[in-house]
Structure 1
Amino acid sequence: MAVVGQEEDVDHYEVLCLPSGEEGAALSLEQIEKAYRTQSRLRHPDKRPDDPSATADFQRLASSYKFLRDESLRRKFDARLRGRREAAARAAASGVKRRKAVSDLEERERAATAGQAVDAAEAAKREDKRKAADVKRELDEFFAAKQSSASGAASTSAHGAPQDGVKTDKSKILKVSWEGGADYYTAAKLEEIFKQFGKVEDIVIKTRKSRSRGSALVVMASKETAQSALENHSVYNVFPVPLIVAPMQESGSVPARSTLTPEARKSNAGGTGFSDLESSVFRKLQEAQKRKQSG
């Protein structure tokens, strides 16, 4: 077990599935003890015999509980979290400016290509269609990537004929969404939350997110573990940004394994992705201007 307090990136409140930040700092010792007892019952290795990470997860739970019981360590930890929140707020403000710049560049590109102002109602209609197409495309890519991975290992039937595909119950797949900041939950953070109910096979974050709402697909190892995640909905309400979890419902032909990389699940709204988009938009603007002059 790691020495208590030396894991700088660990949020000990979140490990116990408690609210962090100012709410966490206001929690009483009795509330922390109650949360520990609840999580101990849910996450004990005996309850998860098929999860190889169960023991390490339970040790992390015990370590965070021991840490938060120490008043001196807890006060220092609360101060460190407060500093992180202030830094995150400054970064978020910078991110809003950057996204606004991207939006302005895209609008200038559309105006230069069209040669006139776009009707607001028509633009809104096109945007709605684009968002709907993006959702369908992401789902298609998700299932197609799994089908491609599974095709190399497809088995044959008793008569020697290859099977058409791998049948998987879609009730293993959970639709997860949240309000109040699309970037709040990462794939790693969602996996930490849902693996308390059993093995998590895959998590896909939507690559095109709205500014205020995020969503993801969580693929559990079995429909039983997915059902357990659905039934324990009260767990998701303890976070500062609550999760909304719903089933996929119907069954169908779903591939068995995803080939999406963690990098492919993340948005490229900032950093290198922003620079690439900026260069692309300026290049297209120049090309449009040349075509206009030559015409």
Structure 2
Amino acid sequence: MDVDVDHYSILGLPTGEDGAKLTEKEISKAYKVKALELHPDKNRDDPKAHDKFQRVKSSYEILKDEKARKLFDDLLKVKQEQQRRHSERDAKRRRMVSDLEERERSAFAPDLAAGQRGKEESILKELKEQVARIREMHKNKGKTTASVSKTDMRGVSEETANTGGVFLDKKKILKVSWEKFGEGYTAERLRELFSKFGEVEDVVMKKKRGSALVVMASEDAAVAATGTVSGDLSNPLLVLPYQPATPAQIPTVQKPAEAERLNHLVGAGFQAFENSVLEKLRKAAEKQKNQK
């Protein structure tokens, strides 16, 4: 930051004590006039138009911030006081007629100058910190973050999962996987397949190859799609709920073998079941291909 820049003058405003009395509305009005005058689009022939416009914008950001403006006003006061003392010292120097008066003046001047320099440096340091804070605040203004957990959204609350900054019911999320990575699915293809069962809110392709998370708009749509979507016969999909149902939530089925399989699904054998179903689908696809 250029310590000799007068931010009030840059905006065409009075400086010093008169500048300190200006209202935020007056400063904002002056900035709009100056920015319109120096905007690069209106000064295409001026190679320094962009720098001039940025300087006006920087001065405005400092003056509209309460803390930064107060520090800048204090800095101006120190500089004005220094100028006043310099003027008085020059006047005295011209009136001095004796070496004694010159030595007495010189004896006290260093301490005074050192004190003024220390005060100026202290204010200047704090002003620089405030300017850096303002710039960092505007740099990050408007930024949003959207991320998915690296561990399949584990570690979030029991009833919600965070994807893209929107909180969703885990019961609406499906785990989708397939075997042939070279012939894998895209987010658009998965959205097309699952939209047959209801609205698809989001499709998150995981870093792990051959897998994705599909977020349905309702629990009913997720239930309807579970175990139903087959995808391409040459590369079938395995669709499982992201949050398996508890034993008490498992619907009653007529076949004992099917009930035993569902109970196993929510237990420690979940991953083994996923692998076995994927293998069966692969063999079925190969058998169908050979029959052709």
- Shorter-chain TM-score above 0.5: no
TM-score (ref. length: structure 2): 0.31
TM-score by length of 1: 0.31
Q: Higher Cα Rg: structure 1 or 2?
A: 2
